[in-house]
Structure 1
Amino acid sequence: MIGTIRREVLDHIPVVHEAHAPQVFAEYQEHYTTHRPHRSRGQRPSEAWEQPAVLHDRVPRRLLRTRVLGGVINEYRYTA
């Protein structure tokens, strides 16, 4: 976990003071548990119990991007 935090966060965001570090780590922890895929869980996030539904329809959907940690990490979701 320490290496993951260093590679995905601390190599890209300078933590400028002691009060900034908890904010950065809290935002990354939310991304890590709710969105980031994990190889050991079959590419599911930590808090997901089952695979996301596969879209079989051919209806074009908009892709929404959510910036995490000021744009260092991007999360993508399709709209309904």
Structure 2
Amino acid sequence: MIRDRDSKYTAAFDDVFTAEGIEVLRTPPRAPRANAYAERWVRTVRRECLDRMLIYNQRHLLAILEEYVAHYNDHRPHQARHQQPPNAADTPPPSVADLTAARVRRRKILNGLINEYSQAA
């Protein structure tokens, strides 16, 4: 497990993981880029979701993050995966549809903050 050197992580925190056989690695001091994947995730979820909403309490935050994570992994395009979401099968993207003849369905995510579009049957 990779973690930063924040004082909230006590020796007891590390002991729990060590007892399970998990090696705890601490990032170097004053190196915010040491855990680039986590930093990128935090920046994305803040920019696309949390900075645009008023969070009432922890329960509300967890509900919002759960819905956003489902969108992020199942629908949101990722440039490194050729515009496919992480949970998509490794199949080529569908052919381009003629939108003058096709019906498009919109699904609101996070009360309309994000919209997902798909072709209606």
**1:21 correspondence with 2:61:** yes
Contact 1:67 1:75 in 2 (8 A): yes
**Matching residue of 2:81:** 41
Q: After TM superposition, which residue ranges in structure 1, 4 or more long, deviate above 2 angstroms? A: 55-59
Count the aligned residue pairs: 80
**1:61 correspondence with 2:102:** yes
* Structure with more relative contact order (C-alpha pairs < 8 Å, separation 6 or more): 1
State which of 68, 77, 80 in structure 1 corresponds to 2:118.
77
Percent identical pairs in the alignment equals 38
**Aligned CA distance change for structure 1 residues 27 and 50 (closer, same or farther; 3 Å):** same
Query: Shift of residue 14 of structure 1?
Result: 1.1
Distance, in Å, in 1 between the alignment partners of 2:48 and 2:97 is: 33
Give the TM-score normalised by the residue count of structure 2.
0.61
Distance, in Å, in 2 between the alignment partners of 1:15 and 1:2 is: 16
Instruction: Decide which structure has the larger Cα Rg and report it.
Output: 2
Query: Shift of residue 9 of structure 1?
Result: 0.4
Give the TM-score normalised by the residue count of structure 1.
0.90
State which of 83, 91, 110 in structure 2 corresponds to 1:50.
91
**Matching residue of 1:31:** 71
Distance, in Å, in 1 between the alignment partners of 2:49 and 2:69 is: 11
**1:10 correspondence with 2:55:** no
Cα deviation, 1:12-68, whole Å, max 9, x if unaligned, reads 111111111110000000000000000000111111122332146787111100000
Contact 1:44 1:50 in 2 (8 A): no
